Amino acid sequence: MGAQNDPIGAQLIVETNVDVTLSHDFLIQATEVTLEQTLSLGWDPPQHAGDMALVPCDAGDCPRVDMTWWDAAALANQLSASHSPSLQQCYELHGCTGKPGQGLICTAFTMPVERVYDCEGFRLPTEAEWEYAVRAGTDTPTYNGTWAMVPPYATGCWRQAELEEIAWTCSGSPDRVHGVGQLEPNAWGLYDMIGNVSEWTHSPYDSDGPNVDAATDPSGGPHLAPLRVTRGGSVWSVTGYLRASAKQPLSWELPLSGPSGVRLVRSLFD
């Protein structure tokens, strides 16, 4: 994990290289969770898109853009419960106000297992799983190649040719998100992991560097720190955040200051 052959912008948040082992196989959604998926579970239409000064994306294949971390956890539970056969729900949410999809906020969560990796149902990816998935075996700034040089910290919106084929970004689409799966996927068939919509992870944020609390299967516990890691950047992100190793912390009570969503995962067991 961490900045490898992509030092450009890495000073934004510490991205030291760390060797990590994932001891399990897992499934990950090929796209971000869509509006159609959430409406099929009884969620109301998004309420925050207009507040974020985005051109509305209201087709069924648009990514859901207004989720708190708690919304994402509740969504995972709903998908586990509606699965046939039903699956173990990975998040036990406590002290909640509101309802899923309308700014759900809770005070704490527990899990039915010691590590989130051991839950059989749908869940948020850990930061390690997300970075492994976006890279698809590469070690460049994105899975589409090495960037040209940009100013230190990449704090502005700078065009990168390697992004244009795979990501909706601030340089080409600053006022709207787009339906999922329209651009080139990575080698493992995963779409829009960079740009478009920032994605929540299960992992807490650690300002000292990568969230690696163990060399194997890191950040698998409940970890009640309210700052959570988001990954992938969005159409509002500066260019430096549109890299495989880049991350942003955000309080789990808030949707991002830009479009926020999630793609869910499931552990595979023998």
Q: Which helix (H) or strand (E) holds 28?
A: strand 25-28
pLDDT in tens, 10-57: 666 778 788 899 999 999 999 999 999 999 999 998 875 444 557 778
Residue 162: φ, ψ to 5°: -70, -20
User: pLDDT, tens digit, for every residue of 101-147?
Assistant: 888 999 999 999 999 999 999 999 999 999 999 999 998 889 998 87
* pTM for the whole structure: 0.92
**CA distance linking residue 6 with residue 47, whole number of Å:** 36
What confidence score (pLDDT) does residue 50 get? Answer: 45
- In this prediction, residues 249-253 reach a mean pLDDT of 89
129, 136 in Cβ contact below 8 A?
no
% of the chain residues with pLDDT over 90:
57
Tokens of 74: 């509740």
Superfamily of chain region 1-270:
paralog of FGE (formylglycine-generating enzyme) (3.90.1580.10)
Residue 49: partners with Cβ closer than 8 Å, 6 or more residues away: 56, 57, 65, 66, 259
